[in-house]
Amino acid sequence: MQHRKLGQDGTAVYPVGFGAMSFTNFYGPTNEAESHAILDRALEVGVNLLDTSNVYGQGASETVIGNYLKANPAAKEVFKIATKGGITRKADGTGNTFDNSAEHLESELNKSLTRLGVEAVDLYYIHRRDPSIPIEEVTETLAGFVKAGKVKAIGFSEIAPASLRRAHAVHPVAAVQSEYSLSTRAPELGLTQTCAELGVALVAFSPVGRSLLTDTPLSFEAAQNLPFLVKNPRFMEPNYSANIKATDAFRQLANEMGIAAAGLAIAWLLSRGEHVIPIPGTRSVAHFNQLVEGANRELSAEELKAIDRILPIGWAHGDRYSRAQWEGPEGYC
């Protein structure tokens, strides 16, 4: 298994990482025992990149990982941990705002290190840009964390290619995180290319389309009970039914190819470039096994054409975010 790198000369990681937002109740109820079972399986398979954030469950995801590392000290030498800062709650509690000030980021990083039980994280992202602070200044702050030994590499989430170039000119950026999948292909309009040019990893979150690209998509009824998805255009009718119908053929193709639909979606992403690292999340060990199956499947040119015929660019019904959910990510097309 050929590993991929976080940055041109950075840490080598398994081609598929793990998105630990699912260690919270974001996509449905879970508990620490179920989450730790997934981490046990990750160690067995070789998945070593764990991606979390200070705001996932308001620190719950980091705490779950920290408790696992405390109970399994040897895992600290295996897992490469990425976390994030920069999102905070509005004073009136009505939603999120963004704070990239040095004081806020340092405070939140210190809290993350405490919850994780580590002295340094392998990768620290700005979760969302604070438009009031130039990205060069924010990059200098992150570089200071590297110099202090609290962070080994830096990254940004949901930024535009032009912003990446500005940041990278100040200090090497190891990774940019963006939603990227067969259902969300906007990164192909400049971000994948810029990352490849600069030697930056493109870490793809929601790589199975928030379940749409799996054998068992979340039901419409289940989505109504999840605060994020109930307001997400792709999970609202009539878009939801249209998206299920559109992806039925993808599930059938995966079955004919002898692979889980989720694994096929991951394999497709891995074919986009050696710098692309998907970070799917799950609450189930069985589904985890389906996801990592994609790392062992190299798709032929004919198989890729078959996928593109079934799910061509722009097939999805509804935007990936609602208007409110779009607050924060940088547009560039």
Integer angstrom CA distances of residue 78 from 40, 43, 63: 12, 8, 18
Q: Is 332 marked active-site?
A: no
Domain boundaries, the chain: 4-208+260-299
Of 14, 27, 56, 321, the catalytic one is: 56
- Residue with token string 């060069």: 136
DSSP of 15-75: SS-EEGGGGTTTTS---HHHHHHHHHHHHHHT--EEE--TTTTTTHHHHHHHHHHHH-GGG
Q: What's the CA gap between 125 and 156, in Å, rounded?
A: 5
DSSP 258: T
Q: What's the CA gap between 222 and 224, in Å, rounded?
A: 5
- Integer-rounded Cα Rg, in Å, for the chain is 19
What pLDDT, on a 0 to 100 scale, did the predictor assign at position 333? 82
Dihedral of the CA atoms 136, 178, 327, 210 (nearest 10)? Answer: -160
| pLDDT band for position 93 (cuts 50, 70, 90) | low
**pTM across the whole model:** 0.95
Q: What's the CA gap between 313 and 117, in Å, rounded?
A: 43
Of how many residues is the chain composed?
A: 333
**Residue type at 123?**
L
Q: Which is the CATH superfamily of the domain at 4-208+260-299?
A: NADP-dependent oxidoreductase domain (3.20.20.100)
Q: What angle do CA 291, 293, 294 make, to 5 degrees?
A: 80
pLDDT tens digits, one per residue of 178-226:
999 999 999 999 999 999 999 999 999 999 999 999 999 999 999 999 9
| pLDDT band for position 278 (cuts 50, 70, 90) | very high
pLDDT tens digits, one per residue of 99-157:
999 999 999 999 999 999 999 999 999 999 999 999 999 999 999 999 999 999 999 99
What pLDDT, on a 0 to 100 scale, did the predictor assign at position 239? 97
Q: Is the pLDDT of residue 237 over 90?
A: yes
